[in-house]
Amino acid sequence: MFRHNNRNHAARYEMDMTTGALLPKVLMFSGPLILTGILQLLYNAADIVVVGRFAGAQALAAVGSTGSLINLLVNVFMGLSVGASVVIARAYGAGDFKSVRTGVHTAITVACVAGVVVGVIGVVAARPLLTLMGSPDDVIDAATLYVQIYFMGMPANMLYNFGAAILRAVGDTRRPLYYLTISGIVNVLLNLLLVIVFHMSVAGVAIATVVSQVISMVLVIICLLRTDGAIHLNPKELRINGSQLKEIFRVGLPAGLQGSLFSISNVLIQSSINSFGSIAMAGNSAASNIEGFIYTAMNAMHQANLTFASQNLGAKQFGRVRKVMWVCLGTVTAIGLGMGVVFLGLGPTLLGFYNTDPEVIRFGMVRMAIIMPTYFLCGLMDVMVGQLRGIGYSIMPMIVSLTGACLLRVVWIYTIFAANPTLETLYNSYPISWFATFATHLLCYLIWGKRKLKRMELSQA
C-alpha cells in the first residue's frame, strides 16, 4: 500500500508533455524553473551584495570576477547533465521505463565521478588560471581563495544538478524549487553570519555557498531514493550502462564542450575588463549579476524546449515537436524584452544594492545600457539550441554556437576592441554575436531540422 501511495505522490510532480495545450504546460513547467534559477542566482547575489557592502570593492571584484573561470572548468560536465535529461526524457516519452531507470543510475554515477574530478582540478588550477586571466594584485589572493573553497563543494554541486536534470526530464520542476528555497535561506543567513559577525569576507561567502549546495544535494538525493517510480534511485544499482553512457555523451559532451569553449570567450572578455582596474571589475560584476536574473528566466524556455521536444520525439508526436519551438521563441522574446527594459530603467537603484560607490554604479550602467535592450537575442539563441538538441542534433548546435558566439567574440577582441579599447566596444560584442548565432541556428533548423522531423513522421506512417 505504501508503494502505491508513494507512486501516486511522485506522479503528482511529473508531467505528460505529449498531450494537451502546449503554452499552459510550457508555463507550468518553466514557472518553477524560473523561480529555481532565481534562487540559484540569489546565492551569488547574496555573496556579491554582502561582500560589496561589508567587505569593499576589492572583495566584490574578487568574487564577481571568478564566474567565467568557474564556468570554464564546470561546463563540460554540466553538459553531461543536459545529455542525461534528454536521454531520460526521450525514454519517458516513449514509455520505456527500463531505459529511464538505467539512465538515472548511469547519470548519478557519472555525477559522482565528475564532482571529484572537477573539484580536484579547480582547487589545483585556481591561481594559475586566475593569473593567466590577469587578475590584479589587489584581487588575486581573495579570488583564488574563493575559487578553491567553491570547488571543494563540487561533488555536491554535480550531484544536485544531475539529480535536478533527472526530475526535469519527467516534468518535475517543483521539487528542485522547494529544495533550493531551503538551501537558499541557509546561504543568505550564513553569508550574513560569516561576513558581518565573523569578518571572514570572501572565505565566508564561499563557505556559505558550499554548505547550501550540500543541503540541496542531500534533499534531491533523498527525493530520488524515496520516489517509487521509474526515476527511483537504488544505491545497489549505481553503475554505468554502456549504451546509456554513450547516448549521454553523444548529446551532452558537445553541449558541455560548447559551454566550456563559450566560457573561453567570456574569460577573454573578463581579462579585457580586468585591464580597466578593480572598480570597473566591480561595476561589471554587479551588472552581470543583475543580468543573470533575466538570463535564468529566458533559460527556462531553453529547458522547456529541450524537454518538451525530447519527450514528444520519444512519443512520436512530431507536430508538437515543431509547435513547441515557436511557443518558446515567442515567450522568451516577451520575457527578455520586458525584463530588459524594466531592469535598465531601475539600473542605478539595482546597482546600488551591490555597491554605493558612484564610480562602480557608473561602470555598471555602461554594461547595462548595451546588454539590457538586446538580451532577448541571447534567449532566442538558446531556445534554438534546445530545439536542435531535443530532436537529436548534438554536433550542429555546438559548431554553430562556437563559431557564431565564441569565435566571433575572440576575433572582435583582437580586432575591433584592439583598435578602439573601450568598454562600450567590448560589450557590443555580445548582442552582435547573439544575433548572428540565433540566425544561423534558425537557418539550420529550417534547412535540416524540419526535414529530419518530416522523414521520421513519414517512416511512422
Q: Give the total number of structural domains in the chain.
A: 1
- Please report whether residue 60 resides in a domain: yes
User: Range of 93's domain?
Assistant: 32-456
Asked, for residue 18, whether it belongs to a domain, the answer is: no
Per the domain annotation, does 20 fall within a domain?
no
pLDDT tens, position by position, for the chain (461 residues)? 333 344 455 567 788 888 889 999 999 999 998 888 887 777 666 777 777 777 777 777 777 677 777 777 777 788 889 899 999 999 999 999 999 999 999 999 999 999 999 999 999 998 998 888 777 777 888 889 988 999 999 999 999 999 999 999 999 999 988 998 899 889 889 988 998 888 888 899 899 989 999 999 999 999 999 988 889 999 999 999 999 999 999 988 888 887 777 767 777 788 888 888 888 888 998 898 899 889 989 999 999 999 999 999 999 999 999 999 999 999 999 999 999 999 999 999 999 988 889 999 999 999 999 999 999 999 999 999 999 999 989 899 999 988 888 889 889 999 999 999 999 999 999 999 999 999 999 999 999 999 999 999 888 76
For residue 219, being part of any structural domain is answered with yes
From CA 252, how far away is CA 319, in angstroms rounded? 25
Q: Dihedral sign, CA of 92, 387, 263, 172?
A: negative
**Within 13 A of 297's CA, how many CA atoms are on the CB side?**
16
Instruction: Please spell the DSSP secondary structure of 55-111, one letter per residue.
Output: T-HHHHHHHHTTHHHHHHHHHHHHHHHHHHHHHHHHHHHHT-HHHHHHHHHHHHHHH
Is there a domain that residue 184 lies in?
Answer: yes
How far, in Å, CA of 347 to CA of 70, rounded? 26
> Does 50 reside within a domain?
yes
Domain membership of residue 356 (yes or no) is yes
Q: In 121-160, which positions are buried (b, 16+ CB within 10 angstroms) versus exposed (e)?
A: ebbebbbebbeebebbeebbebbbbbbbbbbbbbbbbbbb
Structural domain includes residue 4: no
**What pTM did the predictor assign?**
0.80
Identify the three-state secondary structure at position 397.
helix
